[in-house]
């Protein structure tokens, strides 16, 4: 790829401004993992089914495996690395730990970010609403029960 | 017991919820090249020619591997049967088989190099199915199409059938299923003059080490297998998979190489065995089981992988937990031109239980006996020898089955739950089986007590999500009488931690846990020696409490004892734990323990669409002692959900050797939408297992019993019996049409 095909983009990642040059076809997942060393988002199905690569773009969950980095210009991107407040874990993280809402952990960053966007939209979702919203995030380990319990617990914690 | 038996915070969770936990794909090794594999487009073909010269000449390419580069070694490998070449030699046996591999400066360059490799094939006849494999005069995948056969019998089955009042004969089929661990197979390999290091997503690091050492002609100490967090395994990362290919490519490229497979490549690398099982069962009118003949065929695909053990274990499990006066079992693993099949959670178990427990329900119906009563009447009790030459049953299946029946609202054969909606029908089904678990009792551990009284347990169990790191810490802390926070666990690096056979077969808590406990006990003995000298008191007057040895009103901390021994704030004590087939106690003979598989399911069947909804699912496991109850439940919930997947829709579909659904759009796995409204795990704890504190392994049982429980529930709901999986809406709808139009159940029973 010749130099003149490169694009300049600026956006915010986890609260910090990023200015970088990218190739037009670069995927957001590769930008985050390979150029910004943010390895929390994972690649699994690579076709927008599993949600392991979920990050938040302006608060909305996207599958970064099929999202062009260029499309993220001017946005505010949150990855799992940006969710804790320093040493203080996000209530969703605390709830996943306390309710054993994970096993291998490969789905977990995407799962927690998707759940965050759900709770931001709907602070007290019913179980049915959680199932419906979260169906784009797969977990092969837990059988989902303890993830549902984690999200319900987090919702309560976030209400204070 | 304050630490064992408590759902303590797992040490790996913090890493994982913050995204800091590293998996192989997250690692960067200095100088690392990126690899891509050229896969065969054909399922069975002779390779006439490979020309990789253009690829080699491409700038940025560090090395290209084909069979040609393996001339200096014996390139065949496998867990027992060494039938798999590191890369295709002379012919390809499945669509997707690696034919060439490229290491390059980046993935784009590697990909571009693949396009420059020219391969000429001559197509061979395709052995697409097990029927093809068994056809007289058919082409062969290897020397023959029979990979492995096992057989056992007792009594006299023919005489048994003559004694029986009724004989039932049915054939059941089970599909190919893909593990889909979210992390596909990934490995980084470094081959240099010092030896081999691989960073691996693997369940059995020591078996990978041993096989790499053999292949590349190195002593064991020169091969290091490092396993960071693993993103799910379920058997797909057992034994050895793509490691030899990555090492050979690193040798060629003269630098570390990362090989990260896609979901499609992983699905073709390993899957569960499809099965066809014919059971002929003779019973008396009062429901007593008299004789059974079991004929099993398993599709192991292009290579054996672990197919020999799966063939044996399916044979072990097909009689179920019942007492059979007369029994004959023959099991054949067959080669076909499809991706290889190997271990998958509860190897051979789901196939065996699907056939056995479906037929038990059919027999109950034909005899007019309650299916729960029929099972209870024939079940083996703890202490009974259910398989000749094997350890007696140590699980109380009857109690488990009654618990499941209660949990799912079983009210007897005729007592069907009703539904308000016209086109839906509800039913409840039960199933039980038993798995010979634990693999073999070969595990070691090293426990270190440091000069400040903290400890490190060193084990090779892989943290694959099951929570082994936390459990090993709990066991060490409990045994040493020190706080949980004072114990660290170092795991799964063959250059550092001592030997363990494998992570699988529900064995880690029982066997590696026992090794950790024995290691801690050896340290305690050393502490007693030291304290006995210190207090000038006999050992039997000493006790342990709170990181100290106590003598009457006096006490001395472990730290003080270690400092006394080494003459200052230095040194440490080491305790070894060896678990072998000679270990005192119940580990003589196999299996290490019998793992129960007990499930009750309530379903709703939509008669218009054929769609099944699982409303309630209850699984029961006999865990002996739950070291960490919440995570134990999580194991069974995960197993049950995987069972729901292969029951309702999961199936790899091969047509003439081509995999038609090699991705997550076309191969669906359960999502949040499949979670039953009532989803419960019951753990029986009698502290009677062979592991530490009376523990025994769980986590595989439910996956074996879900399918027959659901099919039995569908039968109660609709009167239709389906003998093929998965129970897709189309299959159910067709069965309903066939079942109702003739006024008969779909499959008439054969009566003797
Ligand atoms: S990897 Fe992006 S959705 Fe699966
Ligand atoms: S915890 Fe393993 S995939 Fe969700």
Q: Which ligand 2 atom is the nearest neighbour of the CA of B231?
A: 2
Nearest-Cα residue of chain A relative to residue B643: A143
Tokens 């303590």 appear where?
A: B8
Structure confidence at residue B740 (pLDDT): 59
DSSP state of A85: B
What does the radius of gyration of chain A's CA atoms come to, in whole angstroms? 16
A115 and A47 assigned to the same domain:
no
Which candidate from A41, A81, A108 shows the least CB-CB separation from B16? A108
Q: Per residue in A121-151, pLDDT tens?
A: 999 999 999 999 999 999 999 999 999 999 9
**B224 interface with A at CB cutoff 8 Å:** no
What residues flank ligand 2, with Cβ below 6 Å? A 102-108, 139-142; B 182, 232, 465
Distance CA(B70)–CA(B72), nearest Å, equals 5
Contacts of B637 (CB under 8 A, 6+ apart): A142, A143, A144, A145, A146, B679, B681
Domain-embedded: residue B395 = yes
Q: Which residues of B touch A102 (CB under 8 A)?
A: 13, 16-17, 465
Cα B74 to chain center, whole Å? 29
| B window 263-282, beta carbon within 8 A of A | 263
**B631 interface with A at CB cutoff 8 Å:** yes
A107 and A47 assigned to the same domain:
no
Domain-embedded: residue B13 = no
HSE-up (13 A, CA, CB side) for residue A69: 27
**Collapsed DSSP state (helix, strand, coil) of residue B470:** helix
CATH number at A49 reads 3.10.20.30
B653 and B564 assigned to the same domain:
no
The pLDDT of B107-120, averaged and rounded, is 98
Q: Give me ligand 2 centre to Cα B736, in Å.
A: 36
Domain-embedded: residue B493 = yes
Structure confidence at residue B414 (pLDDT): 84
From A49, A82, A115, the end of a domain falls on A82
Domain-embedded: residue B304 = yes
Which residue minimizes the CA distance to atom 3 of ligand 2? A139
Structure confidence at residue B416 (pLDDT): 87
Domain-embedded: residue B174 = no
B556 and B641 assigned to the same domain:
no
Closest chain A C-alpha to B508 CA, distance in angstroms: 15
**Quick check: CB of A146 below 6 Å from ligand 1?**
no
Which candidate from A97, A136, A140 shows the least CB-CB separation from B669? A140
Q: Which ligand 2 atom is the nearest neighbour of the CA of A140?
A: 3
The pLDDT of B143-167, averaged and rounded, is 98
Which candidate from A38, A47, A100 shows the least CB-CB separation from B663? A47
Q: How many other C-beta atoms can be found within 10 angstroms of the C-beta atom of residue A149?
A: 18
The pLDDT of B378-383, averaged and rounded, is 97
Domain-embedded: residue B7 = no
A61 and A116 assigned to the same domain:
no
Burial class (CB in 10 A: 0-12, 13-18, 19+), B455: buried
B387 and B316 assigned to the same domain:
yes
Q: Per residue in B70-92, pLDDT tens?
A: 999 999 999 899 999 999 999 99
Structure confidence at residue B588 (pLDDT): 80
Tokens of B424: 């839906």
Closest CA to B45 of B113, B124, B148: B124
Its domain, for residue B300, covers 274-438+591-741
Q: Which residues of B touch A45 (CB under 8 A)?
A: 263, 663-664
Q: Give me ligand 1 centre to Cα B719, in Å.
A: 41
pLDDT at B504 over 70: yes
Structure confidence at residue B586 (pLDDT): 67
Q: Which ligand 1 atom is the nearest neighbour of the CA of A66?
A: 2
Q: Please confirm whether the linkage preceding B726 is cis (ω < 30° from 0).
A: yes
Instruction: Give chain A's residues under pLDDT 70.
Output: 1-4
A105 and A149 assigned to the same domain:
yes
**Collapsed DSSP state (helix, strand, coil) of residue B153:** strand
Q: Per residue in B401-433, pLDDT tens?
A: 999 999 999 999 888 888 878 899 999 999 999
B207 and B297 assigned to the same domain:
no
A66 and A11 assigned to the same domain:
yes
Closest chain A C-alpha to B471 CA, distance in angstroms: 13
Q: Which residues of B touch A112 (CB under 8 A)?
A: 17
Mean pLDDT of chain B: 96
Distance CA(B164)–CA(A90), nearest Å, equals 65
Ligand nearest to the CA of A107: 2
Phi, psi of B273 (to 5 degrees): -70, 130
Best of A32, A33, A44 for a ligand 1 pocket test (most atoms within 8 Å of beta carbon)? A44
pLDDT at B751 over 50: no
Distance CA(B240)–CA(B141), nearest Å, equals 21
Closest chain B C-alpha to A23 CA, distance in angstroms: 13
Which residues lie across from B604 on neighbouring strands? B426, B613
Q: Give me ligand 2 centre to Cα B113, in Å.
A: 34
Closest CA to B357 of B715, B11, B32: B715
Whether residues B232 and A98 touch (CB distance < 8 A) is answered with: no
Whether residues A106 and B671 touch (CB distance < 8 A) is answered with: no
Which residues lie across from B35 on neighbouring strands? B103
The C-alpha angle B738, B740, B744, rounded to 5 degrees, equals: 85
B102, B123 in Cβ contact below 8 A?
no
The pLDDT of B160-176, averaged and rounded, is 98
Distance CA(B530)–CA(B524), nearest Å, equals 10
Structure confidence at residue B419 (pLDDT): 84
Tokens of B413: 């054969």
**Collapsed DSSP state (helix, strand, coil) of residue B655:** strand
B448 and B431 assigned to the same domain:
no
Whether residues B263 and A46 touch (CB distance < 8 A) is answered with: yes
Outline where DSSP puts E strands in B378-517: 424-437, 443-450, 455-459, 487-491
Alpha helices in B430-547 (DSSP H): 468-480, 513-535
Q: How confident is the model at residue B440 (pLDDT cuts 50, 70, 90)?
A: confident
Q: Which residues of A touch B670 (CB under 8 A)?
A: 144
Whether residues B672 and A135 touch (CB distance < 8 A) is answered with: yes
Whether residues B229 and A104 touch (CB distance < 8 A) is answered with: yes
From A59, A82, A105, the end of a domain falls on A82
B446 and B434 assigned to the same domain:
no
Whether residues A105 and B26 touch (CB distance < 8 A) is answered with: no
The pLDDT of B601-625, averaged and rounded, is 97
Tokens of B98: 């690696």
Interface mutation target, options A2, A143, A151, chain B, most CBs of B under 10 Å: A143
A95 and A74 assigned to the same domain:
no
Closest chain A C-alpha to B374 CA, distance in angstroms: 31
Whether residues B182 and A106 touch (CB distance < 8 A) is answered with: yes
B379 and B292 assigned to the same domain:
yes
Q: Per residue in B674-707, pLDDT tens?
A: 999 999 999 999 999 999 999 999 999 999 999 9
Interface mutation target, options B7, B11, B19, B661, chain A, most CBs of A under 10 Å: B19
Q: Give me ligand 2 centre to Cα B516, in Å.
A: 27
Which candidate from A97, A131, A137 shows the least CB-CB separation from B9? A97
B615 and B627 assigned to the same domain:
yes
A75 and A103 assigned to the same domain:
no
Its domain, for residue A95, covers 91-159
pLDDT at B298 over 80: yes
Distance CA(B719)–CA(B714), nearest Å, equals 7
CATH number at B448 reads 3.30.365.10
**Is the overall model pTM greater than 0.95, yes or no?**
yes
A98 and A39 assigned to the same domain:
no
Q: Which residues of A touch B675 (CB under 8 A)?
A: 131, 143-145, 148
Altogether, the residues listed in chain B come to a count of 752
Distance CA(B457)–CA(B448), nearest Å, equals 6
Q: Give me ligand 1 centre to Cα A24, in Å.
A: 20
Nearest-Cα residue of chain B relative to residue A93: B17
Distance CA(B338)–CA(B299), nearest Å, equals 9
Which residue minimizes the CA distance to atom 3 of ligand 1? A48
B348 and B483 assigned to the same domain:
no
CATH number at A137 reads 1.10.150.120
Tokens of A47: 């076709």
Q: Which residues of B touch A107 (CB under 8 A)?
A: 182
**B322 interface with A at CB cutoff 8 Å:** no
B281 and B297 assigned to the same domain:
yes
**Ramachandran area for residue B11 (φ above 0: left; ψ -120 to 50: alpha; else beta):** alpha
Ligand nearest to the CA of B232: 2
B44, B91 in Cβ contact below 8 A?
yes
Q: Give me ligand 2 centre to Cα B207, in Å.
A: 25
From A63, A82, A101, the end of a domain falls on A82
Structure confidence at residue A122 (pLDDT): 98
A69 and A118 assigned to the same domain:
no
Structure confidence at residue B742 (pLDDT): 39
Q: Give me ligand 2 centre to Cα A147, in Å.
A: 10
Angle of helix A108-121 versus helix A145-159 axis, rounded to 10: 40
pLDDT at B347 over 60: yes
Q: Per residue in B724-745, pLDDT tens?
A: 999 999 999 999 999 854 333 4
Whether residues A103 and B467 touch (CB distance < 8 A) is answered with: yes
Q: How confident is the model at residue B598 (pLDDT cuts 50, 70, 90)?
A: very high
The pLDDT of B277-283, averaged and rounded, is 98
Domain-embedded: residue B306 = yes
Q: How many other C-beta atoms can be found within 10 angstroms of the C-beta atom of residue B652?
A: 22
Tokens of B225: 């297998």
HSE-up (13 A, CA, CB side) for residue B263: 25
CATH number at B95 reads 3.90.1170.50
Closest chain B C-alpha to A85 CA, distance in angstroms: 11
**Collapsed DSSP state (helix, strand, coil) of residue B489:** strand
B629 and B662 assigned to the same domain:
yes
Distance CA(B188)–CA(B168), nearest Å, equals 53
Which candidate from A81, A96, A142 shows the least CB-CB separation from B19? A81
pLDDT at B513 over 60: yes
Distance CA(B42)–CA(B88), nearest Å, equals 12
**B154 interface with A at CB cutoff 8 Å:** no
β-strands B195-200, B593-606 pairing: unpaired
Q: Which ipTM was obtained for this model?
A: 0.97
Domain-embedded: residue B513 = yes
Tokens of B3: 């630490």
A72 and A136 assigned to the same domain:
no
A8 and A51 assigned to the same domain:
yes
The pLDDT of B40-45, averaged and rounded, is 98
B194 and B113 assigned to the same domain:
yes
Question: How many independent structural domains does chain A possess?
Answer: 2
**B182 interface with A at CB cutoff 8 Å:** yes
Question: How many independent structural domains does chain B possess?
Answer: 3
Interface mutation target, options A49, A99, A103, chain B, most CBs of B under 10 Å: A103
B225, B209 in Cβ contact below 8 A?
yes
DSSP state of B547: T
């Amino acid at each position: 790829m010749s130099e003149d095909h490169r694009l300049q983009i600026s956006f915010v990642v986890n609260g910090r401004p990023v200015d970088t040059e990218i190739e037009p076809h670069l995927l957001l997942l590769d930008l985050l993992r390979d150029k910004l060393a943010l390895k929390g988002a994972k690649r699994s199905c690579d076709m927008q089914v599993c949600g392991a690569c979920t990050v938040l773009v302006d608060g909305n969950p996207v599958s970064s495996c099929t999202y062009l980095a260029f499309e993220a210009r001017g946005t505010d991107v949150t990855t799992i690395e940006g969710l804790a407040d320093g040493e203080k874990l996000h209530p969703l993280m605390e709830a996943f730990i306390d309710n054993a809402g994970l096993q291998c952990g490969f789905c977990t960053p995407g799962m927690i970010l998707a759940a965050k966007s759900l709770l931001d939209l709907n602070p007290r979702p019913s179980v049915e609403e959680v199932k419906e919203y979260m169906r784009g995030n797969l977990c092969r380990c837990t059988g989902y029960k303890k993830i549902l319990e984690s999200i319900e617990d987090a919702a309560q914690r976030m209400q204070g | 017991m304050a630490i064992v038996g408590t759902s303590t915070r797992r040490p790996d969770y913090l890493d994982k919820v913050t995204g800091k936990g590293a998996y192989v794909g997250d690692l960067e090794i200095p100088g690392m090249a990126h690899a891509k594999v050229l896969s065969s487009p054909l399922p069975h073909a002779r390779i006439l020619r490979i020309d990789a010269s253009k690829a080699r000449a491409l700038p940025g390419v560090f090395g290209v591997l084909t069979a040609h580069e393996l001339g200096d070694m014996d390139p065949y490998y496998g867990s027992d049967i060494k039938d798999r070449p590191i890369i295709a030699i002379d012919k390809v046996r499945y669509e997707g088989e690696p034919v060439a591999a490229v290491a390059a400066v980046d993935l784009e360059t590697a990909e571009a190099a693949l396009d420059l490799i020219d391969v000429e094939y001559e197509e061979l006849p395709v052995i697409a199915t097990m029927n093809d494999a068994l056809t007289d005069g058919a082409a062969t995948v290897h020397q023959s199409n029979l990979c492995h056969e096992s057989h056992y019998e007792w009594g006299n089955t023919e005489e048994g059938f003559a004694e029986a009042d009724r004989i039932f004969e049915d054939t059941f089929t089970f599909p190919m299923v893909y593990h889909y661990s979210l992390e596909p197979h990934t490995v980084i390999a470094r081959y240099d003059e010092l030896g081999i290091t691989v960073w691996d997503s693997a369940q059995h690091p020591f078996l990978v080490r041993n096989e790499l050492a053999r292949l590349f002609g190195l002593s064991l100490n020169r091969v290091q297998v490092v396993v960071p967090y693993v993103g799910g395994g379920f058997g797909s990362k057992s034994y050895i998979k793509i490691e030899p290919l990555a090492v050979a490519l690193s040798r060629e490229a003269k630098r570390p190489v990362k090989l990260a497979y896609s979901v499609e490549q992983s699905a073709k690398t390993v899957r569960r065995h499809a099965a066809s099982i014919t059971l002929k069962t003779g019973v008396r009118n009062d429901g007593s089981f008299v004789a059974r003949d079991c004929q099993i065929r398993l599709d192991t695909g292009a290579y054996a992988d672990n197919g020999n053990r799966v063939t044996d274990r399916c044979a072990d499990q097909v009689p179920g937990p019942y007492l059979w006066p007369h029994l004959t079992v023959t099991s054949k693993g067959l080669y076909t031109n499809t991706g290889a099949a190997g271990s998958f959670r509860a190897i051979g178990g789901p196939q065996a239980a699907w056939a056995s427990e479906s037929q038990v329900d059919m027999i109950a119906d034909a005899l007019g006996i309650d299916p729960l009563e029929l099972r209870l009447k024939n079940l083996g009790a703890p202490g009974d020898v259910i398989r000749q030459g094997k350890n007696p049953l140590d699980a109380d299946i009857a109690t488990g089955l009654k618990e499941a029946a209660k949990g799912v609202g079983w009210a007897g054969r005729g007592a069907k739950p009703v539904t308000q909606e016209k086109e839906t029908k509800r039913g409840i089904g039960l199933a039980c089986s038993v798995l010979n678990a634990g693999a073999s009792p070969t595990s070691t551990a090293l426990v270190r007590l440091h000069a400040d009284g903290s400890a490190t347990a060193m084990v090779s169990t892989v943290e694959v999500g099951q929570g082994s790191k936390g459990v090993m810490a709990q066991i060490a802390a409990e045994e040493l009488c020190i706080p949980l926070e004072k114990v660290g666990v170092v795991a799964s690096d063959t250059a550092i931690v001592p030997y363990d056979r494998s992570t699988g077969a529900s064995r880690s808590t029982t066997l590696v846990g026992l090794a950790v406990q024995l290691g801690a006990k050896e340290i305690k003995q050393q502490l007693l020696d030291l304290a006995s000298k210190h207090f000038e008191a006999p050992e039997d007057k000493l006790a342990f409490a709170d990181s100290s040895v106590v003598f009457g009103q006096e006490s001395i901390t472990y730290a003080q004892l270690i400092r006394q021994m080494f003459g200052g704030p230095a040194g440490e004590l080491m305790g070894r734990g060896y678990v072998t087939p000679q270990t005192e106690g119940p580990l003589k003979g196999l299996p290490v323990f019998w793992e129960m598989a007990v499930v009750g399911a309530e379903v709703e069947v939509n008669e218009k669409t054929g769609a099944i909804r699982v409303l309630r699912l209850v699984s029961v496991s006999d865990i002996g002692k739950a070291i960490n109850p919440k995570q134990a439940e999580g194991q069974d919930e995960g197993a049950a959900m995987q069972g729901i997947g292969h029951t309702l829709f999961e199936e790899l579909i091969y047509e003439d050797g081509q995999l038609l659904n090699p991705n997550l759009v076309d191969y669906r796995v359960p999502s949040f939408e499949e979670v039953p409204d009532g989803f419960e795990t019951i753990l029986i704890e009698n502290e009677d297992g062979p592991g530490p504190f009376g523990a025994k392994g769980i986590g595989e049982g439910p996956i074996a019993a879900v399918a027959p429980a659901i099919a039995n529930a569908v039968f109660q709901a609709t009167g239709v019996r389906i003998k093929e999986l998965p129970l897709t809406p189309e299959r159910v709808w067709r069965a309903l049409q066939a079942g109702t139009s003739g006024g008969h159940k779909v499959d008439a029973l054969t009566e003797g």
